[in-house]
Chain A
Amino acid sequence: MTKAELVEKVSSQINLTKKQTEVVVNTVFQSITESLSEGKKVELRGFGSFRIRERNARLGRNPKSGAQVDVPAKKVPFFKAGKELRELVDK
């Protein structure tokens, strides 16, 4: 399901227009993005938690040419599904 389809599904269950619902959806995911960028974790009951995992810099290789390349350290967003969601998808 894409974001547009999700917006449609949500707006049909609530007294909001599609436009308004889209703003809600964008605001929610923007907020999560901003929080992660500030180094905060986001915990949503019944859903899961988002946090940042740090990856160290390492030496990699270009698989095609075999040339060595520096891979810089990076911060990777990580999601851990909550127990409820984990069990829900595995029924």
Chain B
Amino acid sequence: MVLNTSESQGTVVKADLVDRVYERVGFTRQEAVEAVEILFKEIKSVLAKGEDVRITGFAGFHLKDKNARNARNPRTGEPIRIRSRRVLTFKPSQQLLDSTNRSMNESQNS
């Protein structure tokens, strides 16, 4: 694995996911790019239609409608109105929680 100097922990981007798909599945690179691209596009379009997406073993992406409310700008104290809106919430599955916590004993720097 290449050590990224700017971020010691490294950041994974879409191209890295494409690499994994390419390595594990044995499509052409172009097919791997396309598949990953379409996957996220599809998730977005389902959420845009107002439907939740649940990925078994990973997490759920749930939509929540929030009521309008009054609030304050914490810096200036100025009262503001927050309009009603729809937000996306992320609920990790038990399996995902298990994997992120299994690594705890092995990780040395945090």
CB-CB under 8 A from A14, the residues of chain B are 31, 34-35, 38
In the assembly, what is the distance between CA of A1 and CA of B56, in Å?
A: 11
The interface on chain B, measured as residues whose beta carbon lies within 8 A of the other chain's beta carbons, has a size of 56
Contact among B21, B95, B97 for A28, CB-based, below 8 A: B21
Contact among A6, A23, A42, A54 for B42, CB-based, below 8 A: A6
The interface on chain A, measured as residues whose beta carbon lies within 8 A of the other chain's beta carbons, has a size of 51
On whether the beta carbons of A6 and B43 are closer than 8 Å, the reply is: yes
List CB contacts (< 8 Å) of A1-35 with chain B: 1-3, 6, 9-10, 13-16, 20-21, 23-25, 27-29, 31-35
On whether the beta carbons of B47 and A89 are closer than 8 Å, the reply is: yes
Chain B interface residues (CB < 8 Å from chain A):
9-14, 16-17, 20-21, 24-25, 27, 31-32, 34-36, 38-40, 42-44, 46-48, 50-59, 61, 63, 85-88, 90, 92, 95-97, 99-104, 107, 110
